[in-house]
Amino acid sequence: MFLDLSNNKLQGRIPDWAWSNWMFSLRTLNISHNMLTSVDSIPLQIVDTIDLRSNLLQGSLPIPPISTKYFFISQNNLSEEILSSICNLTSLIMLDLARNNLSGEIPQYLGNITALYVLDMSHNNFSVNIPTTFSNGSYLSSLNLHGNKLEGNIPRSLANCKELQVLDLGNNNLNDTFPV
């Protein structure tokens, strides 16, 4: 089932009764471009796509179900650090966390999700280093970390990303030469 509630004036949080009604039937959920302020968890069983872009979500990043392939949650007010459990989403193809206030470290094993094609974490407050582990056989074609506070070196393991077409590391505090 596909549910599209985008571009409305939905406010507050999604009620528990809605989640329990959707739990086993939704494959795609689009509630983008609303005024939602809270999503504590996403208790769906088998879902491919979750789109929560352009809301007023605050707090920590909710971790979607393990079956999620496309997760869009950019342009919100999410803060805090990303839980390392996001690295368990091995089916993830596209992850868009851009334009939030996420901070701390980017989980090191995020680069090990070999199915991941697009990773956009631009315009946040990530600091420390870029993850140093990018797996052989990675399908990553676009990595955008522009506009953070990242420091250190560009990981040499990016060479394992043979499909990489877009790499945006601009406007950070990196001090390195580009790997051959």
Q: What pLDDT is attached to residue 135?
A: 86
pLDDT > 70 in the chain, percent: 99
Q: What pLDDT is attached to residue 180?
A: 62
Domain that holds residue 63: 2-174
CA triplet 107, 148, 13: central angle to 5 degrees?
70
Q: What pLDDT is attached to residue 131?
A: 82
Q: What pLDDT is attached to residue 179?
A: 63
Structure token pair of residue 34? 């609303």
Q: What pLDDT is attached to residue 136?
A: 86
Q: What is the mean pLDDT of residues 87-102?
A: 96
Residue 67, domain member (yes or no): yes
Residue 180, domain member (yes or no): no
CA 132, 136, 139, 142 dihedral sign is positive
Say how many Å lie between the first and final Cα of the chain, rounded.
Answer: 46
Domain tally, the chain = 1
CATH code at position 112: 3.80.10.10
Tens-digit pLDDT profile for residues 46-57: 999 999 999 999
Please check the confidence at residue 45 and state whether its pLDDT lies above 80. yes
